[in-house]
Amino acid sequence: MEAIKAPRGTRDILGNESWKWAYVTDTFRNVADDYGYREVHLPIFEHTELFCRGVGETTDIVEKEMYTFTDRGGRSVTLRPEMTASMVRSYLENNMASGPQPAKLWGAGPMFRYERPQKGRYRQFVQLDVEALGAQDAFVDLEIIDLSMEFYRRLGLSNLNVVLNSVGCPKCRPVYRKALQDFLKPRYDELCDSCKSRYERNPLRILDCKSPICKEISENAPSIMEYLCDECKEHFSELRRGLDRIGANVIHDKRLVRGLDYYTKTAYEILSGDLGAQNAVCGGGRYDNLAEAIGGPHVPGVGFASGIERVMLTMEAQGCSFGREPANKVYAVAAEPSAKLETMNLVRTLRMNHISADMDYMGRSLKSQMKSAGNMASYACIIGGDELAKGVVTVKNLGDGTQEELTPEQLVNKLK
């Protein structure tokens, strides 16, 4: 029988790597704390309806990427493909509107999308997600963008481009949409198949298409900037003034879109120069009409999500530090079987004093226990007949080879 493998597009993150993940998440947690965002833990599956309405029926995610199944109670549920819709659902369900506004939330966890796996693209991946709900102010958009940039700064990342645009609102976007369709119409037949179907349903997404011919066709398309209503224009200018004030280096990309009715005003992405095709480390923006789309009242919101795998790939490419790999300080060695009980007790004493320690459980010889110590720890603490009689431990510094006899108490004080 063939051994069972993990599903395509998933990965095991093992001990040689997981400490790096912890470093990135801890860094994110610290940044979120400094900006006043509180962590929430939301379900990994939700009613399918939440994503159909909260992400949008015409998106790739809802059309072809969701892991949807019927549970034993006959309800259609979906493994979350993103967190924003859940965040807004949670805001409404827990009546966060009655608390301080904006509600500032962050969360981390796995997302699921049935996409073709490639470098930086998985079917299960981890997002770090930040959302500010309840405020219209352009400086909240600024705070969100600033928070994401500060996160990457603390990780030591460089070679990142922040690209920004406005996608307007339901007042001004339909006019732009029409102008864009009129512009594309004469060359409709040349568009790729996806863009042909986008033409009616979601024409702004054509600006985003990676196919060379679609790129060429839309190159001189009218810019949404010329169609923004006064409110959207002012919001964008205010955000840009704020970004200038903090010295943020941001590129205005008029082709960047979200292309869904409830995404409004700000759209942005942060792109890594060290990744290939899947080069977005972060995507975000404002979605003032999402709460209504999922059946709630009007709640403006803005946020971003960053994929941890792409952040780590970029860090690795740039040789960034991940802090220190956890290692045992002590490996306790029983020089003879009669010393095993005291060796065990020494290990326990060290652990209770926050000194990481381990010992042999495989009945190995003294020589091979010393070898394990050399591989795994900074100190070997040896207990044999002599040590048992004197109530001490022989402590060998595996770095410089020096050796001394200490009582367990002295050892704890030395290593603490």
- By CB under 6 A, name the binding residues for ligand AMP: 82, 113, 115, 120-122, 125, 127, 280-283, 305-307, 309-310
Whether the Cβ atoms of residue 8 and residue 117 lie closer than 8 Å to each other: yes
| Identity of the residue, 64 or 241, whose beta carbon is nearer to ligand AMP in the bound complex | 64
| Identity of the residue, 284 or 384, whose beta carbon is nearer to ligand AMP in the bound complex | 284
| Identity of the residue, 82 or 387, whose beta carbon is nearer to ligand AMP in the bound complex | 82
Residue 319: CB minimum distance to ligand AMP, A: 20
| Identity of the residue, 113 or 396, whose beta carbon is nearer to ligand AMP in the bound complex | 113
| Identity of the residue, 159 or 407, whose beta carbon is nearer to ligand AMP in the bound complex | 159
| Identity of the residue, 66 or 370, whose beta carbon is nearer to ligand AMP in the bound complex | 66
Residue 172: CB minimum distance to ligand AMP, A: 23
Give the 3-state DSSP-derived string for the chain, with helices as H, strands as E and coil as C. CCCCCCCCCCCCCCHHHHHHHHHHHHHHHHHHHHCCCEECCCCCEEEHHHHHHHCCCCCHHHHHHCEEEECCCCCEEEECCCCHHHHHHHHHHCCHHHCCCCEEEEEEEEEECCCCCECCECCEEEEEEEEEECCCCHHHHHHHHHHHHHHHHHCCCCCEEEEEEECCCCCCHHHHHHHHHHHHHHHHHHCCHHHHHHHHHCHHHHHHCCCHHHHHHHCCCCCHHHHCCHHHHHHHHHHHHHHHHCCCCEEECCCCCCCCCCCEEEEEEEEECCCCCCCEEEEEEECCCHHHHCCCCCCCEEEEEEEHHHHHHHHHHCCCCCCCCCCEEEEEEECCHHHHHHHHHHHHHHHHCCCCEEECCCCCCHHHHHHHHHHHEEEEEEECHHHHHHCCEEEEECCCCCEEEECHHHHHHHHC
Residue 87: CB minimum distance to ligand AMP, A: 12
Residue 31: CB minimum distance to ligand AMP, A: 16
Residue 121: CB minimum distance to ligand AMP, A: 4
Residue 146: CB minimum distance to ligand AMP, A: 17
Residue nearest to ligand AMP (CB): 307
| Identity of the residue, 175 or 275, whose beta carbon is nearer to ligand AMP in the bound complex | 275
CB under 8 Å to 145, separation ≥6 — which residues? 162, 164, 243, 248, 250, 268, 284, 304
Residue 51: CB minimum distance to ligand AMP, A: 12
Whether the Cβ atoms of residue 112 and residue 101 lie closer than 8 Å to each other: no
| Identity of the residue, 306 or 394, whose beta carbon is nearer to ligand AMP in the bound complex | 306
Residue 353: CB minimum distance to ligand AMP, A: 41
Residue 40: CB minimum distance to ligand AMP, A: 17
| Identity of the residue, 65 or 231, whose beta carbon is nearer to ligand AMP in the bound complex | 65
